[in-house]
């Protein structure tokens, strides 16, 4: 009964694979996958828009340096000799008139307050630029992980299919020998159990392959079911350099760390700008216009100019509190940078160790596969000659399957670890 259910399950898998194969798989290299993700992924587009918004803030703050020009059209009708006797303090005399004119106001100086705000906004814009680069790196490492994960899943699936075929061959052989009385029913039972295990492996491998391609599609910034024919990538060589040099490179190149540093510097510039709130602000204003219709007491044109000096004296400790807040935020940002540097140092060390271990595993898994293949050949020959039991053959089959799975995974594990190390040192852009 168990064997029948497994056969049905495998048949369903084959049907689903056939349906998927109905779609023409598109060839895809790692470089093409990276370019596709950089073009389509919404996270990269969102980061680019945030960078544009940050640059727009710089223009907003710099606008203070330019003159402000306003036009005005004013008409009034009043009784002769009218006076404003209630309301806001203003010129109490009201004349009937129509006039038009312009006013021009120009900021002169606030002794560096606006300049520090401009520097702060420029640094924040640079921080957003680095965040965009960091987002690209996040997407690229995710694509690399998904790409090599899909290649690994395909390789494991091929091993599972070969294992099912090899163990089915043993079942067919033992079944024929059992019918001839040359092998016992126990041998056939062992062979069928081994075949059932292989079919379970195939079911799991098919599921992992489908899931791996779903992850790859999402990493590319796409939706829906996509099928690809993935191209193999050249195997990177042994790692050069020490972990100390890699940490130094990460401290210099990691875009997320650069973004935090720019943000920290922006906070310190903003704190200095808040300190300069107590400085005077000097500005000028000029007005000019004409009055084609007016009372006889008014002239036909008017022109005036003034310079204004605003000196803060007391505002309920508002400026002091704003300065204290800005300085505290700047110190907090500085501690965030130090913490990120510590985390990066740790992550680079871990990534370097993982990549080193994965590289060492390449030779070990190759040797494991060679030995398991030889053991399987010897065990099969001994069993065919009646010199060993089905238990020895079953163990040899299990060892071979484990060796094939380890060998299939080792190559892509190393490529994945190298991609992760490149990400940690800031080499992915």
User: Using 50, 70 and 90 to split pLDDT, how confident is the model at 18?
Assistant: very low
- Give dist(CA 416, CA 149) in Å, integer: 8
pTM of the model: 0.84
Lowest mean pLDDT among 21-35, 39-53, 140-154, 192-206: 21-35
Average pLDDT, the chain: 89
Q: Quick one: pLDDT at residue 110?
A: 94
Residue 211 covered by a domain = yes
Q: Quick one: pLDDT at residue 383?
A: 80
Q: Rounded mean pLDDT of 200-227? A: 91
Residue 320 covered by a domain = yes
Residue 21 covered by a domain = no
User: Using 50, 70 and 90 to split pLDDT, how confident is the model at 53?
Assistant: very high
Domain containing residue 62? 26-78+94-424
CA distances from 392 to 159, 192, 373, 379 (A): 21, 15, 14, 7
Q: Quick one: pLDDT at residue 88?
A: 63
Which residues, in sequence order, are CB contacts of 219 under 8 Å at separation 6+?
33, 37, 139, 142, 143, 145, 146, 147
Residue 326 covered by a domain = yes
Q: Quick one: pLDDT at residue 177?
A: 80
User: Using 50, 70 and 90 to split pLDDT, how confident is the model at 17?
Assistant: very low
Q: Which is nearest to 49 in space by CA: 159, 128, 158? A: 128
Domain containing residue 211: CATH number: 1.20.1600.10
For 312, half-sphere exposure in the C-beta direction (CA atoms, 13 angstrom radius) is 15
* Spatial contact of 330 and 267, defined as CB atoms under 8 Å apart: yes
Q: Quick one: pLDDT at residue 90?
A: 65
Q: Is the pLDDT of residue 354 over 70?
A: yes
Residue 1 covered by a domain = no
Q: Quick one: pLDDT at residue 126?
A: 97
Q: Is the pLDDT of residue 169 over 80?
A: yes
Residue 20 covered by a domain = no
Q: Is the pLDDT of residue 10 over 90?
A: no
Residue 12 covered by a domain = no
- List, as one string, the DSSP characters of 360-408: HHHHHHHHHHHHHHHHHHHHHHHHHTTSS-HHHHHHHHHHHHHHHHHHH
* Spatial contact of 117 and 166, defined as CB atoms under 8 Å apart: no
Q: Quick one: pLDDT at residue 290?
A: 93
- Give dist(CA 121, CA 115) in Å, integer: 10
User: Using 50, 70 and 90 to split pLDDT, how confident is the model at 20?
Assistant: very low
DSSP summary character for residue 232 = P
Q: Quick one: pLDDT at residue 47?
A: 96
Q: Is the pLDDT of residue 15 over 50?
A: no
Residue 258 covered by a domain = yes
Q: Rounded mean pLDDT of 241-261? A: 95
Taking the CB of residue 321, how many other CB atoms lie within 10 A of it? Answer: 12
Lowest mean pLDDT among 163-167, 267-271, 273-277, 345-349: 163-167
Q: How many domains does the chain have?
A: 1
- Give dist(CA 400, CA 197) in Å, integer: 14
Q: Rounded mean pLDDT of 188-215? A: 92
């Amino acid at each position: 009964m168990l064997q029948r259910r497994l056969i049905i399950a495998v048949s369903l898998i084959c049907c689903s694979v056939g349906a998927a194969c109905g779609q023409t798989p598109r060839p895809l290299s790692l470089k093409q996958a990276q370019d596709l993700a950089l073009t389509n992924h919404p996270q990269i587009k969102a980061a680019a828009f945030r960078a544009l918004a940050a640059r727009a803030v710089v223009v907003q703050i710099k606008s203070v340096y330019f003159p402000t020009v306003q036009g005005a059209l004013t008409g009034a009708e009043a009784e002769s000799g009218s006076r404003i006797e209630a309301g806001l303090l203003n010129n109490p005399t009201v004349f009937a008139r129509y006039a038009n004119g312009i006013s021009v106001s120009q900021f002169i100086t606030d002794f560096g307050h606006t300049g520090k705000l401009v520097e702060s906004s420029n640094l924040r814009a640079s921080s957003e630029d680095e965040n965009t680069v960091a987002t690209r790196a996040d997407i690229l490492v995710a694509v690399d992980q998904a790409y090599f994960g899909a290649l690994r899943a395909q390789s494991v699936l091929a091993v599972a299919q070969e294992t099912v075929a090899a163990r089915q061959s043993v079942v067919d052989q033992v079944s024929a020998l059992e019918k001839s009385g040359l092998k016992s029913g126990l041998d056939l039972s062992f062979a069928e159990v081994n075949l059932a295990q292989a079919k379970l492996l195939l079911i799991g491998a098919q599921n992992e392959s489908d899931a791996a391609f779903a992850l790859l599609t999402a990493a590319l910034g796409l939706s829906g079911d996509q099928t690809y024919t993935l191209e193999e990538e050249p195997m990177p060589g042994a790692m050069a350099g020490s972990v100390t040099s890699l940490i130094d490179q990460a401290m210099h190149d990691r875009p997320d760390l650069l973004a935090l540093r720019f943000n920290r510097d922006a906070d310190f510039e903003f704190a200095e700008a808040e300190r300069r709130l107590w400085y005077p602000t000097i500005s000028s204003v000029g007005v000019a216009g004409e009055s084609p219709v007016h009372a006889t007491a008014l002239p036909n044109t008017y022109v005036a100019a003034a310079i204004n000096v605003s000196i803060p004296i007391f505002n309920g400790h508002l400026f002091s509190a704003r300065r204290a807040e800005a300085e505290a935020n700047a110190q907090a940002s500085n501690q965030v940078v130090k913490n990120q540097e510590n985390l990066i140092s740790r992550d680079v060390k871990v990534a370097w160790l993982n990549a080193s271990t994965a590289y060492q595993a390449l030779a070990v898994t190759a040797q494991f596969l060679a030995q398991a293949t030889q053991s399987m050949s010897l065990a099969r020959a001994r069993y065919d000659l009646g010199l060993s039991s089905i238990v020895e053959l079953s163990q040899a089959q299990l060892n071979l399957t484990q060796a094939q799975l380890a060998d299939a995974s080792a190559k892509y594990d190393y490529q994945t670890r190298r991609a992760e190390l490149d990400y940690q040192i800031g080499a992915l852009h």
